[in-house]
Amino acid sequence: MRSLIFAAFAFVAACDSTVDNSFRVQGAGLQLHSAQMDRNTENQSKYFNALCLQAGYSGPCAPAPNVSASHTWRLLVETGYNDIDFRCNTYLTWIDSKRSERLLVEGTSNAISILAAGLLKGTSASADKLADIALALGFARDLYDSYQSSILLGLEGSTIKEIVNKRRMAHRESFRNVTYDSRPDAVFALQRYLSICTPQSILTDVNSFSRAAAGGETPPLAAEAAASAQMLGLQPNNPVTPPRRNVAAVPEQSKLFEGQGFSERDVAVFQLASCIDVDVEVGPATLSSVRLLEQFEPVMDSSGRISRTEWDVLRGKMEARPCDTSVYKNVYENYAHGSDGGVAAINALVAAGALDIGFRNQPFNGPGVRDALAELRQRIGPSETFPGLGSMSGQLTSTLYQRAIRN
């Protein structure tokens, strides 16, 4: 009992009385400018500079306010997602570790303080300069406090991981076609993604999933992710939703991969790069995408499934290039010609005389390009059919491309 009283006292004493009184008297407050705003602005700049380095730039790369550079903002958001994934995975691992300890209260406050610093700093060489980067995204230090986290320690670990992973996958799917035109757009997307891994969000999700499962309904995870994306002007695809309780889970990985050690995330990575629905179910569209890859990827055999050796070569590039379905229509277009929207491929077809010179420097979704590809296929063939992928008439495949280049 004495240790519990001491822990409670320590928790209360750790609270910032100035901040506490401010919220108690003023609520959110009416003063627009504060010292915290200046700190947030500085921290935000530090964070984006760090993301620039992670993305491969040699220095700051965030565009000026009057510069249109949606590609750079998208790259920074995708890099930020990967950075947040690392922090979130560290947090989930910490929860697992603490759940295994018999003495829950002892050392919790100290552990939480270390967690908050580690989660917000990461492990980069410049971590000491980035201690407050998440504060710039609107998160307070006491977000990961001992009260919230101690509740999580009582929950089943695999449940937490499943919910967080499904929500992250749903978010990425809903935001994958977003065009980021400014820093506020990028910050909004990163805020929503980071919030998935906060104790409050996890607790809310667990409660929602429990209530929904009791009634045999899945919670509105897809609708929430879609609503967030629509705030940036996107009409998103339907993201992944978890299965209902009491429904037998049938492993899908063995239909796509050969051997052991593959996860649902591996299936999702492949589907996301293949320009098909990310449902973690291996159906005709997924298997047809494998056949498309086998046509041109030298490392692959013709088994219709992906081996460990093949996946070690494919995964990195697929993770780095999720498909934008407004530009690419299949995995070959995205994987083989996705770096420039298809401009180089179209120019090669023009140079070979397969397409009219008027299409030079046009991407796949340029004016009339899809119609021209459909006419080219009708003229020289082949007539290809891939179950689950729909009509291939206006799509570029390896077979069509090679035949047109050689003619």
Residue with tokens 């986290």: 149
Mean pLDDT in residue range 134-153: 54
pLDDT in the model for residue 36: 66
**What would the mean pLDDT of 86-115 be, rounded to a whole number?**
61
List the structure tokens of 394: 């206006």
Per-residue model confidence as pLDDT tens digits over 229-259: 554 444 444 333 333 433 334 578 889 999 8
Q: How many CA atoms lie within 13 A of 292 on its CB side?
A: 32
Give the residue carrying structure tokens 């903002």. Answer: 73
- Residue 306, classed as helix, strand or coil, is strand
**25 Cβ neighbours under 8 A, 6+ residues apart:** none
Q: Which of 12-21, 126-135, 168-177, 311-320 shows the lowest mean pLDDT across its residues?
A: 126-135
- At residue 216, φ and ψ (nearest 5 deg) are 75, 20
- Alpha carbons within 13 A on the beta-carbon side of 75: 17
- The answer to whether 144 and 115 have CB atoms below 8 angstroms apart is yes
What letter represents residue 10's amino acid? Answer: A
Query: How far apart are the C-alpha atoms of 230 and 19, rounded to whole Å?
Result: 34
Most confident of 118-122, 223-227, 228-232, 252-256: 252-256
Strand partners, 306: 257
User: Mean of the pLDDT values across residues 70-95?
Assistant: 83
Of the chain, the percentage scoring pLDDT greater than 90 comes to 28
Mean pLDDT of the chain: 74
Percent pLDDT > 70 in the chain is: 63
Predicted local confidence at residue 207, as pLDDT: 64
Could you give the 3-state DSSP secondary structure of residue 171?
Answer: helix
Instruction: List for the chain the helix, strand, coil content (%; round to 5).
Output: 60, 0, 40
Contact 352, 400 (CB under 8 A): no
Whether the CB-CB separation of 190 and 48 falls below 8 Å is answered with no
Instruction: Give the least confident one: 2-11, 104-113, 284-293, 339-348.
Output: 2-11
More confident residue, 204 or 209: 204
Q: Determine the Cα–Cα distance for residues 10 and 310; give it in Å rounded to an integer.
A: 54
Stronger pLDDT, 176 or 329, i.e. the higher one: 329
Classify each residue of 40-70 as buried b or exposed e, where b means 16 or more C-beta atoms within 10 Å of its C-beta: beebbebbbbbbbbeeebeeebbbeeeeebe
Taking only the tens place, the pLDDT of each residue in 154-202 is: 566 677 777 788 888 888 887 777 788 888 888 888 888 888 877 777 7
Residue given tokens 């069509």 in the structure block: 400
- Tell me, what's the pLDDT at 6? 37
Confidence grade of residue 87 (pLDDT, cut at 50, 70, 90): confident
- Rounded CA-CA distance 323/345 in Å is 17
pLDDT of residue 209: 57
* Strand-pair partners of 81: none
Identify the band that residue 147 occupies on the pLDDT scale cut at 50, 70 and 90. Answer: very low
Give me 68's structure tokens: 């249109």
DSSP string, 263-312: -HHHHHHHHHHTTS---S---HHHHHHHHHHHHH-TT--SSSSB-HHHHH
* Distance from C-alpha of 205 to C-alpha of 221, rounded to nearest angstrom: 9
Residue 136's pLDDT is: 56
Cβ–Cβ < 8 Å for 264, 312:
no
Which tokens go with 72?
């750079």
Q: What pLDDT score does 192 carry?
A: 84
**Alpha carbon distance 178, 191 (integer Å):** 15
Whole-number pLDDT of residue 328: 94
Residue 380 in this model has a pLDDT that exceeds 80: yes
Q: What is residue 355's predicted lDDT score, i.e. its pLDDT?
A: 95
Digit-coded pLDDT (tens) for 265-278: 899 899 999 999 88
Residue 95 burial by CB count (10 A; 0-12/13-18/19+): exposed, middle or buried? Answer: buried
- Cα 192 from Cα 170, distance rounded (Å): 12
More confident residue, 171 or 7: 171
